[in-house]
Chain A
Amino acid sequence: AQTVTQSQPEMSVQEAETVTLSCTYDTSENNYYLFWYKQPPSRQMILVIRQEAYKQQNATENRFSVNFQKAAKSFSLKISDSQLGDTAMYFCAFMKHGSGATNKLIFGTGTLLAVQP
């Protein structure tokens, strides 16, 4: 069974600074997807970034980038130039490739990020 671990329940960063959120996972699969989702106080879960395990290049989306270390089963999220609107709960998630009809997402417990002015 796959598991996702986020070891930082809470983090804080100053506006305009850079912060890194950690995520590790356990799987025996070779091909899979990894995600970071953001859940602001509005509660709507929003996709931040996605990584396909067969791609060695780290995914980037504007100020968000990941450090994907497949051998170490590590998938951290770096937020550059932090903004107040980045304040949210961040969830790391795993999906086995070819999940077919299920597309089952396995989530971590989340990291609450507070961006301070």
Chain B
Amino acid sequence: ETGVTQTPRHLVMGMTNKKSLKCEQHLGHNAMYWYKQSAKKPLELMFVYNFKEQTENNSVPSRFSPECPNSSHLFLHLHTLQPEDSALYLCASSPRGQGANIQYFGAGTRLSVL
């Protein structure tokens, strides 16, 4: 257990649905990340937040909308997704200072878009 919790673990949605993924960390970290993990491909960084401010958007389509209300919570709002968006979505967090380069991951949300 790394201290990063993601819900739900599994999600099935239609292309017209709206859903949200949630990530929560109780490690006192100030940076949070969303990654997409597809089969046979490297993990792709989607978004980075530092102290609730978005510092990276890796050319992610607008049908993915992140929200970071505080340093402990991160959401990924989903709407009008495509079947190719089916993947494992991983959240991570990292601390300030010397350990800032170490990211702690959640167990992910397995998303299936029908």
Contact = CB atoms under 8 A, between A and B. Distances in A.
Chains A and B come from one and the same complex:
yes
Interface of A: 4, 33, 35, 37, 42-47, 50, 91, 95, 97, 99, 101-110
B97 interface: no
Contact of B48 (A35, A45, A97, A104): A104
Interface string B52-84: 000110000000000000000000000000000
Interface residues of B, number: 27
B101 A104 contact: no
Nearest to B45: A104
A101 B50 contact: yes
Nearest to B41: A109
A21 to B, nearest CB: 15
Contacts of A109: 40-42
B102 interface: yes
A77 B104 CA distance: 20
A70 B45 CA distance: 25
Contact of A105 (B1, B41, B45, B106): B45
A95 B101 CA distance: 8
A108 B105 contact: no
11 contacts: A4-B42, A37-B105, A43-B107, A45-B90, A91-B42, A95-B101, A101-B50, A103-B103, A104-B48, A105-B103, A107-B43
Contacts of B105: 37, 44-46
Contacts of A95: 101
A43 B2 contact: no
Contacts of A108: 42
Contact of A102 (B1, B56, B92, B106): B56
Nearest to B92: A45
A99 to B, nearest CB: 7
